[in-house]
Amino acid sequence: MTDHLNTKRLHVITWGCQMNVYDSARMADVLAPIGYGPTEAPEAADMIILNTCHIRDRASEKVFSELGRLRVLKQAREAEGGRMILAVAGCVAQAEGKEILARAPYVDIVLGPQTYHRLPEMVALAARAGGAVIDTDFPTEQKFDFLPDEAAPQTPGGLSAFLTVQEGCDKFCSFCVVPYTRGAEASRKVASVLAEAKRMVAGGAREIALLGQNVNAYHGEGPDGSTWGLARLLYALADLGIPRLRYTTSHPRDMDDALIAAHRDLPALMPFLHLPVQSGSDRMLAAMNRKHKAADFMRIIERVREARPDMALSSDFIVGHPGETDADFADTMKLIREVGFALAYSFKYSARPGTPASGAPNQVADAVMDARLAELQAVLRQQQNDFNASCVGKTMDVLLTGHGRHPGQIAGRTPYLQPVHLQGDASVIGRIARVDISAAHPNSLSARLLDEPRLSASVSPLPTEEPACA
């Protein structure tokens, strides 16, 4: 392994989705060969990257207010005769790069989500030019082909690692900025995914979550030149002996038979599916350009539950999309009650510049959205509480990921992504242990270690014999 001298300090601030978390780690990887090592302290950094999200509300105001704070640090450094490079990355940078440079001329680099493999050149240019560097291209080359290879140090992804396999989106939902900020849908080659998964496992990962804005639309080129779907990729990853696999975020339209079968066949594929539906009203689903109906979603849920009876479900909801009536909202509430979600994310519709819905004439009043959101969240919260409560007394395999907040406390995650706390020795961290769930709290569970934790990679995980909670 090549040894790099980390003489300069890099601080990365990450907002937004898991893909941004992954991208931040890769930006650190790309900068390591030119001497940047991580620091938690922004004031001590030689370079700060603000990795931004544009998905909802006042995204750019939030960026400018953070930049104002970072500017003070940069000026303090310059007053001491030093230098700090300030970079803005991610989806706001992609959408509003020029405006950032106009309003915050002290920013040195602006880069979009598809160009971070070029960061070393940008840093060199910024150092030389004295002026700002902007790179918000959608390059023809795939950044993944330019990320450091096995010889380079990998920013550790931890026991539970994210691995981006697919980027961008061609679905153009009426409300969403992602197709504009992340660009067209593109899948990474199978060989590149498998190589990175192996590195993650070698670095200690016990769980890998495959990421994509439309991860189940994955269609990567296989080693034999054929196209692989997500299911085939999951079988190949399971063959590597990775104990826990997940994928997120999926679109109902891409839940194909093979993927549903993978849930039946692969014990390593965790029985938890995040499948955003947004609305339970067919009228709204059409207005949102989701290209599926509520009944299609219900059918998928039924089939997924048939394939994996202990499956827990999660989703995203938007209330107040333009044109949403009380009847449409009632349809969403009906769908929620019919499915019963273990977890869900819900949002007030937020008009995003450049998206078709933002120009629609029939915008919903803010107070109406507030009321609908409160009603919907009360039911989702109750469902989450019920799900957590139904886990008490069950036995589960929990990935123990670190120390809890209290002395002697160990933290972990259930197959259903619930945070778990238990008393144990630090030596159990990193293991998948069988536990007994002893109590449920609003956002977490308490548990007791049952037997000797099962040792790592050599032991293939068994699905819990108990049915799902709930």
What sections of 109-177 are H helices per DSSP?
119-129
Q: From the list ligand SF4, ligand F3S, ligand SAH, none, pick the one residue 181 interacts with, judged by a Cβ distance below 5 to 8 Å according to partner type.
A: ligand F3S
DSSP labels, 251-316: -GGG--HHHHHHHHH-TTB-SEEE---B-S-HHHHHHTT----HHHHHHHHHHHHHH-TT-EEEEE
Using CB under 6 A as the binding rule, whether residue 175 contacts ligand SAH is answered as yes
Q: Which is nearer to ligand SAH, 135 or 328 (CB)?
A: 328
Nearest to 317 by CA among 381, 245, 365: 381
Indicate the residue among 143 and 251 with the shorter CB distance to ligand SAH: 251
- Work out which of 10, 11, 12, 19 binds ligand F3S, going by CB under 6 A: 19
Kindly tell me which of 158 and 179 has the beta carbon lying closer to ligand SF4: 179
Sequence-distant (6+) residues with CB within 8 A of 159 are 204, 205, 206, 207, 399, 401, 402, 429, 430
Residue whose CB is less far from ligand F3S, 114 or 181: 181
Whether 276 and 292 have beta carbons less than 8 Å apart is answered as no
Distance CA 98, CA 104 (A): 10
Residue 278 interacting with ligand F3S (CB under 6 A):
no
Q: Which stretch binds ligand SAH (CB under 6 A): 98-106, 331-339, 343-351, 405-413?
A: 343-351
- 126 touches ligand SF4 (CB under 6 A): no
Q: Are 200 and 216 in contact (CB under 8 A)?
A: no
Residue 349 binds which of ligand SAH, ligand SF4, ligand F3S, none (CB < 5-8 A, kind-dependent): ligand SAH
- Is-contact 470 416, C-beta < 8 A? no
Binder of ligand F3S out of 91, 234, 373, 399 (CB under 6 A)? 91
Would you say how long the chain is, in residues? 470
- Residue 88 as a binder of ligand SF4 (CB under 6 A): the answer is no
Q: Which does 172 bind (CB under 5 to 8 A by kind): ligand F3S, ligand SF4, ligand SAH, none?
A: ligand SF4
Amino acid making up residue 440: A
| Contact mark string toward ligand SAH, 315..334, x via CB under 6 A | -x-x----------------
Tell me how far apart the alpha carbons of residues 49 and 108 are, in angstroms, rounded to a whole number.
10
Is residue 178 close enough to count as binding ligand F3S by CB under 6 A?
Answer: yes
For residue 384, CA distances in Å to 272, 310, 449 come to 14, 16, 24
**Is 278 an interacting residue with respect to ligand SAH (CB under 6 A)?**
yes
| Residue 318's binding partner out of ligand F3S, ligand SF4, ligand SAH, none, with CB under 5 to 8 Å set by partner kind | ligand SAH
**String of contacts with ligand SF4 for each residue 230-269, x by CB under 6 A:** ---------------------x------------------
Dihedral sign from CA coordinates of 281, 282, 288, 292: positive
**Closest-CA residue to 92 (of 79, 111, 106):** 111
Positions that interact with ligand SAH (CB under 6 A): 55-56, 175-176, 178, 213-214, 249, 251, 276, 278, 316, 318, 347, 349-350, 352
